[in-house]
Amino acid sequence: MGKKRNGRAVLRLDFPNQKSSPVEGSKSVPAVKSQAPSNKPCSTSVTSQVQPVKTTTSALLSANLEGNVTDSEFETVLDKLSSRACDLESLNMFLEAWESVFAHKMDYRSRNSAPSYDEFEALRRSKKLDSTLKKCTGFVKKVKLYTDVQRDSIEKEIQTLNLSKYLGEIATAIAEAKIKISDINGVLSICSMNHQRYSDFSPMLLENFRRVMPQKRIECSPSILKKLSCDLRLLGDLIAIGILPTAESFSLLLNSIRNVIAADRDGMQCLIPILSFCRGVGDEMAGILPRNIMVLCKENSIKLSRYDVVPVDKRVLMKTLLREYFASMCGILLKFQEEVLKSEIYNRKLMKNRGEIPEDRQATHNDIVANFEKFNSNAAKLAELLNENLPELKSLPPPAPDEVEDRAFSPSAAEDNTVVPGIVIFEDEDTRAFYQDLPDLKVYLPPVAYRENVLLAAEEAKKIEEREMQVANVDDDIVQAELSAEKLEEDEPEDLPPSLRGETEDEKREDAQIKPSFQIFLTSLLNCVTREMIDKAAMEFAMNYNNRPNRKKLTRWLFQIPRQRVDLLPLWARLVAILAPVMPDVSMEICALLKSDFRFLVRKKHQIFIETKLKITRFIAELVNFKIFPKSDAFQCLKTLLMDFVHHQIEMACAFVETCGRFLHRSSESRRRMTIYLEEMMRKKAAKALEPRYVGMVDHAYYFVCPREGVQRSVNKRRPAVAYLRNMVLYNLNKDNLESTIAVMKGLDWSNEKITSIVLELLCQPWETSSDQLRYLASFAAGVSEICPKMKTILTDTIIELIYYGMERPDTCENYRRIAVIRYLGELYNYKLIGSTSIFSTLYLLICYDLVTVNPLHWEHLDPPHNLMRIRLTCTLLKTCGDYLNHGPNKKKLNYFILYFQRYYWNKKRSSIWTNLNQFPFAIEELMEDTVHWLRPKSKFPASYEQACDEVQEMEAKMIKYAEEIFEEQPNLLTDVETTPIKPRNKYFEGQKGAQDKVGDKFNWTSDSNVDIRHLNDGVGIQLEGERGADSEVLFVNDTEYGEDDTFNQLFDRMCSEVNYNAARERMKSDIPIPLKLRSSSRSVPTTAEENSEGEKTVNFVLITRKGNKQNYKNLSVPADSEFVQKIQQREEDERLEKEKVKALTLGISMMQEAEEEQEAIARINNRSQQVPTPQYGWKNCIKS
């Protein structure tokens, strides 16, 4: 029962939620005790209160819903019960909660549909309600900051306060409040109590929701989406329980959801509000229930109570909108999964190459996978609610790398690595990271541990820097003179190099004092074969063994690396580089030992110890890569080798160049000197008779540093303005920056012809952009045409000429360009840059240009039977703009064209070249059938060529019959149409026999074809009838030089016909045709007036009337001074003056053109006597070049 407050019972709409949750283990729910609306006064009415549902579990409330991107506050207990329902027991728990909520909503709706305003008005007049400003404003503040804890106090204040003057503020506070899903029940109770007391509350609440809900595209920020999730659900519940009017509020709800979906660009953010809405009020607003509930109810023959608060047609609209969003979300889900697969493939490649995956990379991959799982989980829940199926997701590829992965991660893909620092010097990211990404030991060591060592080595480091600065100061002549000298400095001879000498007595005594643990550490360095292991070893030495004796022992150990372990040289060099910032004495001492050993081995010129020589050389080169060994000393070593370029010195020089040659050659301060040394090495090779083995080694080392240059591709160096516009228009144009790009175009100087030509050139290259961006390029062209109107005509003409060019030069290498151009033409029509006439002209051009028969003798012409490119082009154009052609008058034109197109297709398919071994391509069949079925779903595709011809003949017969009926009904239809035939303009068909002989070489005459243009149904061919009748000949014009004239003549004749036909149609606007005798006998308006019997001047008119099918003519005399006659005469006088003015202008232009032509002819005659004429090329040759 409800709790009485001030003589009035209050209905508590406590739906099952997180606060009043069922208790786990219970199997029954008490029946809902509701009471019908009472007709007694408001002060004594009694309502019902929902008792908490005593079922289900507390564990249900604390369960962690893994993979759910929504917070727990967006999911009520009823939602959780529906998602967990899998058997009869769990279904009964859901049904009990569902029926409880259903009964309360229906009871609530019945009370809100019949509020007792009169009872409250009487109570207000009795002045028992408090209207003080302090309490009323305090109440409004509580509503603004509403939480479910304040529910009881707010309901009590509603009973005692007179809020009639604060309804607007209350409605605003409710609409703008940031509530949670758990607070919706309390807000509904507050709204219901106000609705039952104040008649103006509901309109104010609706108006505030109309202001708050998104009426246009908004930014999908997390805070906005969180509030929107609650607002959509609250608005649906307000409609369901009858507080808001259904018609207006449902339209607001539908538009809000539509705007939210439109604002979500990536399709992932608005999933939270949509899913929350479908869970909360899906049955009320869209008639949807979870699929598992429907299946369980059907299996157990259980009838579930359903809501009927919204008309069926409105629920269908809402359900359709939700399903459309679900379809788009499925596409986004597939793209998301592709990103996950790419990330997984990349990780596997890293694992294969490196042996492990970096932590930051693994963390990024884990985030991608976690986000995908959350999105997939929510998408699955929405699919359950909408009774839809998710698309099948691809499984992860096997661990073995495939060819695509190898190609994607090959070194040739240098474009992907250009953004990594240091990629100019090193080949790839792994190499760069090995030589440059070193751990900083200063972070782990206190300054006192390395300050003394750094200060002691500062003076020596300063000397090294001075020598390094001299590396860049190179004098070519001096370097060449130094390299040409064959004399080396001779020091005192020694028996063995330092690396091969034994330990002295002092060193043996020091070794005896070394701890065994440090000796174990030194031995373990031989097993450090990865970058991570050597980094850990450096850290261990710095933390545990950092003292002078140990550093000296480590230096000797590193210096005496076994000559067979060349694989350890880069790793031990990295160890030295890591220790150098905090222990510079280690790096300086090992560099001194290596330099001394190198000089000894070169000076002795022994033909032994080759492995030791190569080891020392490579160790020095590796330290150069780490910038430990000074470059000046490294060049001194290389110069020493080049000065005595024989035997082992050749191998040592090649090993040095192969190891650090690229680093020295690509470093700016040493590039010049390294180039001189490399040239000197190649000069020495050419001057000396070396063994082939040495020649190969030198060539390999040189070209390893300076790769051979392949075929130089001519690169078109564009001006900065051209490159900027090209990148912005062709490569970076998309939906987001389209408007900003057009805004940039508005700022250009369009009076500059160079700017206009650059933009026009970019717009005429649709093949330079991707197929997905063609629509944006066409939209951009539409925007540019508004800025520069002449651009529209030039662009259209150029695109159509490109299509003609593709017809006349059917090169398979240009097929991609032809498809891009034809699709671009369709997009231009979609954006209203061209008319439907141009589209239909292009369509008929594709199937009729240069028609040939199936005779094999004609296969070498422009449209042989095996060339199916025109079918693909036609289908591409129809799929691009077919939607817009499928309406209005163009729909009938499209019907006619489809019939001709089907006949053209079957004429290709029936050719004898297609056999069992050489079958007609299945892709073309599928493309053709899909296109026709897409445009005409109900039509039946013809099964043979004869059937296609029959459909065309049937259509043509209907058209002829229709035309005859029109002419019978209106026999004067053609009286005003100019029927004078147009004389041929082609000069090659005129003249006498001499002129024909002159042009005869330009034509190819054959007599093999007997196809007549009147029998196109039997084949696709054109025949010109001659004077010999049956011996007629087929004329093929050499379109290399005269194709432009033929095209111009066809377009000109078509234009004249269209103009005449349109003029005839304009004259036929009258319902009653003017008799011919009246047209020939009299003028429309007499110019002279006649006097009647009374001496008054009048003008005679003929009045035509019709009764039934009979026309009556009656003479009508109108006074000459009437306003009607004077206006007509004035209009005719104005027209006459206008015609004379146009005639004068036309004559002036003609005379000017004749004068210019005469001047050009005189100039050509003068130039012809002085210059040799050069061949002229048409626009087609210019396009090809």
Nearest to 943 by CA among 935, 934, 932: 932
Question: Which DSSP string corresponds to 1123-1139?
Answer: HHHHHHHHHHHHHHHHH
d(CA 591, CA 637): 12
Residue with more model confidence, 1086 or 625:
625
Is the pLDDT assigned to residue 1021 strictly greater than 70? no
pLDDT for the residue 441: 84
In this prediction, residues 311-336 reach a mean pLDDT of 88
CA angle 280, 284, 286 (to 5 degrees): 95
DSSP H stretches of helix in 688-830:
692-705, 720-726, 738-746, 753-763, 774-787, 790-808, 815-830
pLDDT for the residue 29: 32
Among 417-421, 708-712, 805-809, top mean pLDDT goes to: 805-809
Confidence of residue 1156 (pLDDT cuts 50, 70, 90): confident
d(CA 685, CA 707): 18
Buried b (16+ CB within 10 A) or exposed e, 613-647: bbbbbbbbbbbbbbebbbbbbbbebbbbbbbbbee
Q: Please, what is the average pLDDT of the chain? A: 74
Confidence of residue 1177 (pLDDT cuts 50, 70, 90): very low
Q: Which of 369-378, 521-530, 710-719, 804-813 has the lowest mean pLDDT?
A: 710-719
At 764, which amino acid appears? C
In this prediction, residues 186-204 reach a mean pLDDT of 86
Straight-line distance from the first to the last Cα atom of the chain, in angstroms, rounded to the nearest whole number: 92
DSSP H stretches of helix in 910-980:
922-935, 945-969
pLDDT tens, 716-772?
678 888 888 888 888 888 888 899 999 989 888 888 888 889 999 999 999 998 888
pLDDT tens, 102-141?
888 888 888 888 777 777 777 777 777 887 888 888 888 8
d(CA 1104, CA 1068): 16
User: Please, which contacts does 338-346 make with residues 24 or more away whose CB atoms are closer than 8 Å?
Assistant: 338/394, 339/368, 339/372, 340/368, 340/369, 340/372, 341/394, 341/396, 341/397, 343/368, 343/369, 344/396, 344/397, 345/397, 345/405
Among 23-32, 352-361, 804-813, 1151-1160, top mean pLDDT goes to: 804-813
DSSP state of 394: P
Is the pLDDT assigned to residue 1077 strictly greater than 90? no
Is the pLDDT assigned to residue 680 strictly greater than 70? yes
Number of Cβ atoms within 10 Å of the Cβ of 983: 6
pLDDT tens, 496-519?
556 555 555 666 666 656 778 888
Is the pLDDT assigned to residue 996 strictly greater than 70? no
pLDDT for the residue 1184: 34
Is the pLDDT assigned to residue 1173 strictly greater than 70? no
Q: Which of 456-470, 664-678, 880-894 has the lowest mean pLDDT?
A: 456-470
pLDDT tens, 142-194?
888 888 888 888 888 888 888 888 888 888 888 888 888 888 888 888 888 88
**Helix, strand and coil in the chain, % to nearest 5:** 65, 5, 30
Please give the backbone phi and psi of residue 1003, each rounded to the nearest 5 degrees, phi first.
Answer: -120, 150
pLDDT for the residue 495: 53
What's the predicted TM-score (pTM) here? 0.36
Is the pLDDT assigned to residue 1070 strictly greater than 60? no
Confidence of residue 52 (pLDDT cuts 50, 70, 90): very low
Q: Which domains does the chain have, with CATH numbers?
A: 1-58+70-114 (no CATH), 116-180+187-198 (no CATH), 328-416 (no CATH), 429-486+501-705 (1.25.40.180), 987-1067 (no CATH), 1079-1146 (no CATH)
pLDDT for the residue 1180: 34
Confidence of residue 485 (pLDDT cuts 50, 70, 90): low
Alpha carbon distances (Å) from 804 to 792, 853, 1056 = 19, 21, 21
Please give the backbone phi and psi of residue 304, each rounded to the nearest 5 degrees, phi first.
Answer: -100, 135
In this prediction, residues 431-445 reach a mean pLDDT of 86
pLDDT tens, 347-401?
887 777 666 677 778 888 888 888 888 888 888 888 888 888 888 887 765 655 4
Task: Give the length of the chain.
Answer: 1185
Residue with more model confidence, 609 or 1172:
609
Is the pLDDT assigned to residue 865 strictly greater than 60? yes
Residue with more model confidence, 715 or 327:
327
Residue with more model confidence, 894 or 159:
894
Residue with more model confidence, 989 or 559:
559
Is the pLDDT assigned to residue 802 strictly greater than 70? yes
Is the pLDDT assigned to residue 607 strictly greater than 50? yes
User: Please, which contacts does 383-386 make with residues 24 or more away whose CB atoms are closer than 8 Å?
Assistant: 383/326, 384/83, 384/290, 384/291, 384/292, 385/275, 385/278, 385/279, 385/282, 385/288, 385/289, 385/290, 385/291, 386/278, 386/288, 386/319, 386/322, 386/323, 386/326
User: Please, which contacts does 250-256 make with residues 24 or more away whose CB atoms are closer than 8 Å?
Assistant: 250/285, 250/310, 250/314, 252/206, 252/209, 252/210, 252/213, 253/213, 253/285, 253/318, 254/314, 254/317, 254/318, 254/321, 255/213, 255/215, 256/213, 256/214, 256/215, 256/232
